Amino acid sequence: MKKILPNEAVACYQVVHETSYSYQSMVTLSQQYLHLAPRSFAYQNVLQQDIRVEPLPAECAFNLDYFGNCAESLTITLPHQSLLVHAEFTVALLPRYTQEQIADSAPWEVVRDTRRPFNPASTEEPQLFMYPSPHVSWGQALSDYALVSYTPGRPHLDAALDLTQRIFDDFEFDGEATEISTPLEEVLEGRRGVCQDFAQLMIGCLRSLGLAARYVSGYILTHPPEGQPRMIGADASHAWVSVFCPDYGWVDFDPTNHCLVQYEHITLGWGRDFSDVTPLRGTVLGGGKHSLQVNVTVTPLPLVPGNTAAPT
């Protein structure tokens, strides 16, 4: 049976995410699509959020995307040579399952072979996250790599944690080794990449075994060297993996940091892969060459009494 978790908040964070573009020449039209507003769910309660755009958009529309993430579409018609998107929000995090609590999950073969009724109205439907997607492929090499952890009869979530730790041990973080379009097979062969690569690699491994896994976009609290202050703007976006297991629901693992996600990960949203939850993407008319700067600051805040439960 699924364990009952307490509903008292265990952490509270403020996140500031600034994206700025500088263009060589004038932009006469800019259309942008944003995934920069966090979502409330079982382990996260959004307390406050705000998005400011300069120059001011002529049109702006908020909606939920196919996966239930908060999204914003905007159109800027005022000629400009710079674009600033400032997103700021505060969230409270609630307890997640511990390593001890997931140790007795069902054997992974049972999870693979169990067929659940498909619920097209649910944004958390596991079958939405079992198949190849634009940046996540199936493959024998991915399956073979996963089967080192997924031995016969092993509990699904215990094997997922082992796969998480193996990716951390076997791969080196290298921001120059890959691009957004680098195939998973090249990541697996080269054994280098960034958090996005490691998350999508783990997802590809799990889907190759017939298991549901989704890509989670968000942020992680970083720790400055001892004795040094937290640097404003020095953090970055992050990505990890959510794995479905009956009786537990979705359980998150971070292969970049070889851990079961607990109380230092802040969620923006989730999808099949990076393409579903890109923080900011769009098209511009004019502009020529451009430079991009992204600054992220994650700040721990004191817990406020009463922030005890996420919306259901």
59-81, pLDDT tens digit by residue?
A: 999 999 999 999 999 999 999 99
Say which CATH class 108-276 falls into.
Answer: alpha beta
Rounded Cα distance, 290 and 263, in Å: 37
Residues of the chain with pLDDT under 50: 1, 308-312
- Domain positions in the chain: 11-93+277-301, 108-276
User: Hey, what's the torsion of the CAs at 281, 286, 292, 295, to 10 degrees?
Assistant: -60
CATH for 11-93+277-301 is 2.60.40.2250
For residue 290, which phi and psi values (nearest 5 degrees)? -145, 160
The pLDDT tens digits for 293-312 are: 999 999 999 987 665 444 43
Q: Which two tokens stand for residue 73?
A: 């579409």
CB 128 within 8 A of CB 67: yes
Distances 127 to 140, 158, 206, 303 between C-alpha atoms, Å: 21, 21, 13, 36
Radius of gyration of the chain (CA): 20
| Res 30: pLDDT | 97
For residue 220, list its beta bridge partners.
Answer: 265
Rounded Cα distance, 274 and 197, in Å: 9
| Res 120: pLDDT | 77
CB 297 within 8 A of CB 252: no
| Res 93: pLDDT | 97
